[in-house]
Amino acid sequence: MEISFQLGEWMNHRLKKKSAHSIHSPFLFDWYQIVYKGKLQEDIIANYRRLKKEIKNDHQTLFHQDFGAGSKKVKTSKPTISQLASASLKSESEAALIARTADYFQARKILEFGTSFGLTTALLAMVNPDAEIITLEGSEAVAQRASMIFDQLPQHGIRQIISQFDLAIEQKSLEEYGPFDMMIIDGNHRMKPTLHYFDYLLDFCSEDAVFVFDDIRWSKEMLNAWKIISSHPRITLALDMFGMGIGFLNPDLSKEYYFI
């Protein structure tokens, strides 16, 4: 059921995917040429790969509390770091795209829901050393392992918050760090919570902020959440990248939906 859903979605996405010459929006064309087609500095990508290898080769077990939708692959509460990483880490190309997008829009305040072992956060920080990055993780052991990754960065503006997302919202602990220029929602892949995070964060972001939602095709309900979010009146441009969805609030753009 799930596999046929994803396969059908993948074929549909491939059919609708745009290439550079079919993009009419100048704003998107520039982003596409500079960010999507762009590359990261060699030394940064080498450092990211080294950190990722360190996590993938870490066979220590940890006590992992899952506050999200649960993993499709890891069923034990005492997985190894390596097992958990292979089930949850983002691909290098997706992490790089997020980091380059933040750089391109000069995002100064970034909020991430779902630190995991901190690899995307670390890449964001290496590419955007002056940005303030607030990252939330509910699993304490996972967040502690992430802090060992952050300690290895030469310079960073990362602030870790160990908390369930809902609790941080309820306790209003994020508000003092806003308004956010970029928000990355990468945890608790269910429709209701995802819509709740989006609605809440709309009040704490800059006028032309960028939202990134990961795993929009993790399930049918996540795809529904993305469809609702991308048709929200405050989202002007929506980019459907199959795995990730990017929504721009920039009020100067006309409402458009692109499969990239």
Ligand X SMILES: C[S@@+](CC[C@H](N)C(=O)[O-])C[C@H]1O[C@@H](n2cnc3c(N)ncnc32)[C@H](O)[C@@H]1O
Q: Closest approach of Cβ 25 to ligand X, in Å?
A: 28
How far is Cα 238 from Cα 159, in angstroms, rounded to an integer? 28
Which residue type occupies 26?
A: P
Q: How many residues bind ligand X (CB under 6 A)?
A: 20
25 counts as binding ligand X under rule CB under 6 A: no
CA distances 181 to 14, 134, 143, 210, Å, are 30, 12, 23, 6
String of contacts with ligand X for each residue 45-64, x by CB under 6 A:
--------------------
How far is Cα 88 from Cα 9, in angstroms, rounded to an integer? 21
CA atoms within 13 A on the CB side of 196: 14
187 counts as binding ligand X under rule CB under 6 A: yes
Q: Closest approach of Cβ 55 to ligand X, in Å?
A: 9
223 counts as binding ligand X under rule CB under 6 A: no
String of contacts with ligand X for each residue 100-119, x by CB under 6 A:
--------------x-x--x
Which range of residues in 2-10, 36-44, 101-109, 132-140 is near ligand X by CB under 6 A?
Answer: 132-140
**Contact call for residues 102 and 110 (beta carbons, < 8 A):** yes
**Contact call for residues 35 and 104 (beta carbons, < 8 A):** yes
How far is Cα 83 from Cα 94, in angstroms, rounded to an integer? 20
Which range of residues in 31-39, 135-143, 219-227, 234-242 is near ligand X by CB under 6 A?
Answer: 135-143
The residue (of 6 and 25) whose beta carbon lies closer to ligand X is 6
How far is Cα 215 from Cα 213, in angstroms, rounded to an integer? 7
181 counts as binding ligand X under rule CB under 6 A: no
Q: Closest approach of Cβ 222 to ligand X, in Å?
A: 12
Applying CB under 6 A, among 89, 148, 195, 253 the residue interacting with ligand X is 89
83 counts as binding ligand X under rule CB under 6 A: no
Q: Name the pairing type of β-strands 237-240 and 256-259.
A: parallel
SS3 32: helix
Residues lying near ligand X in the complex (CB under 6 A) are found at 67-68, 88-90, 95, 114, 116, 119-120, 136-139, 142, 164-165, 186-188
